[in-house]
Amino acid sequence: MGFNSFTFILLFLPVLLTGWHLLNKAELFRIADVFLIGLSLYFYYSFGVSFLVILLVSIAVNYLLSAVMEKSEAFRKPLKIAGVLFNLALLFYFKYLGFFVDNINALFDAGITAKEILMPIGISFFTFGQISFIVDRANGEAPHYPFIDYALYTVYFPKLIQGPIAFHKEMIDQFRQKSLRSFDTDTFAKGIMSFIIGLGKKVILADTLAKSVNYGFHYTYYMDTLTIIAVMLAYAFQIYLDFSGYCDMASGVSLMLGFKLPVNFNSPYKAKSAKELWQRWHMTLSRFFIKYVYIPLGGSRKGKLRTVINVLIVFVLSGLWHGAGWTYICWGLMQGLLVVWDDLGIVGVKPSKEEEMSSKPRRYLLREKPFFMVPRPVGNALTFIMFVVSLVFFRSQDMTYAIQMFKRFFFWTYPGFLYRTASQLEIAENYIPRQLFSQLGFAAGENIVYMVTLLLLLAVSGFIMTRKNTQEIVEETDFSMKTVMGLAIVFIWSFISLSNVSTFIYFQY
């Protein structure tokens, strides 16, 4: 039961919102918390009962460690180590054991067998959230919360399966504010708006682009240069719309409940450099690695070489966090190298007048100022192109397919396969033009319709990337009749399209 399902929209969400607001109106706050915990657990249970058991065990162990820390401060450091190791072991077993065994067998011909293990949805998110709590708890930065508060923080379903990785304080402090429990029409309306925009991004655009993307990556060995360009652009837009769509829906549901989730996605394709891109993409994951990995490793305090090494470690771990495979490691390493290149100060991007006025002068590893500067549009374009190139690793089945993708890019042939890739867009929206061409007896009509559909999707997606993001739109909206009608159209269109819906990309992480 994802956000983009009939069950969630027609049954789960109405029951949740009705029960939550009625209980809070009656000032039954603890009962409301238990109600929200119960529905959050049911939401997670809908993906599998075994997943729920793993989540409950994880909560119990981490809370027990926190309770023991409360009894004895002398054991906080060993308990911190034990807690981090427990959470990492849980993550390793379900996410990385198969990858580890496969590589041991490949290196040493060991012949070790490991049964296929089904990875719990969202394990990377709730595990990292609990690691942050255990570390902060041991460092004296977090109290021993009442169990209901801690359980609600961990299982709060808008963030449970795909983030953001919220820190304990920023959520529990909100849960404890009674003023946020009062129904606020404006906040509720903004939540609905955010949810609808996210639903439209996911169902109308991302899932449609996925049809051609999946086909293209499945037939990597047959693709030509133009097809690869089209498929990679489609995938870059798909993953953007899929992830930002989920973030918008999660934020929307949370606003309907009265709470704000931390911003996790802030128009990354507007970035002028790789470093800025990672200040905008999966922002809560970036801050987690900065706080709990980069800074403890020494950050930028131990010399230039150590800074470079620390950056690369963080990005390799980020790649590995996204998936158990060498393709993800290569993707993370490539992103790390791009950030290091940006930090060297060889090439810089001219700041806007607003940035010059509001930002502190930036220091680079090699010099105070870059050797030469390029205009911001050039920086935007180069950053986007390099990110798209890196996605070859991110999306390919394995390294063999990734290398083949790069090879086929330089294999200039007649782009006949582009028609086949575009033909996967046989969607209800292009039924009428296809029938029109058919009635006119135009043999190549269907191919033209598919190609136009693909180009139109790419154009619309590219246009969205350059506009204001959902947070900005929601904050600035005045809920005029025009806005309400537009939202109604998007919702109806999305709702009708739900029967063809797919899972979110980040579910697997």
d(CA 271, CA 268): 5
d(CA 123, CA 130): 11
Residues in the chain: 509
| Contact (Cβ atoms closer than 8 angstroms) between residue 461 and residue 206 | no
Q: Is 282 a catalytic residue?
A: no
d(CA 153, CA 150): 5
H/E element, 264? none
Residues linked to residue 372 through DSSP beta bridges, in sequence order:
347
SS3 (DSSP) at 281 = strand
What are the residue ranges of helices labelled H in 72-146? 76-91, 97-108, 123-138
| Contact (Cβ atoms closer than 8 angstroms) between residue 376 and residue 221 | no
SS3 (DSSP) at 34 = helix
Residue type, 28: L
Please identify which of the residues 21, 168, 282, 322 carries the catalytic annotation. Answer: 322
> CA angle, corner 107, sides to 101 and 109, nearest 5?
80
Q: Which DSSP letter does residue 291 get?
A: I
d(CA 313, CA 308): 9
**Residue 188, Cβ density class (10 Å: 0-12 exposed, 13-18 middle, ≥19 buried):** middle
**Token pair 């290569």 in the structure block, residue:** 330
- Find all residues with CB under 8 Å of 266, minimum gap 6, and list them: 280, 283, 469, 471
> CA angle, corner 116, sides to 8 and 45, nearest 5?
25
Q: Count the neighbouring beta carbons within 10 Å of the beta carbon of residue 285.
A: 21
Positions marked active-site: 322
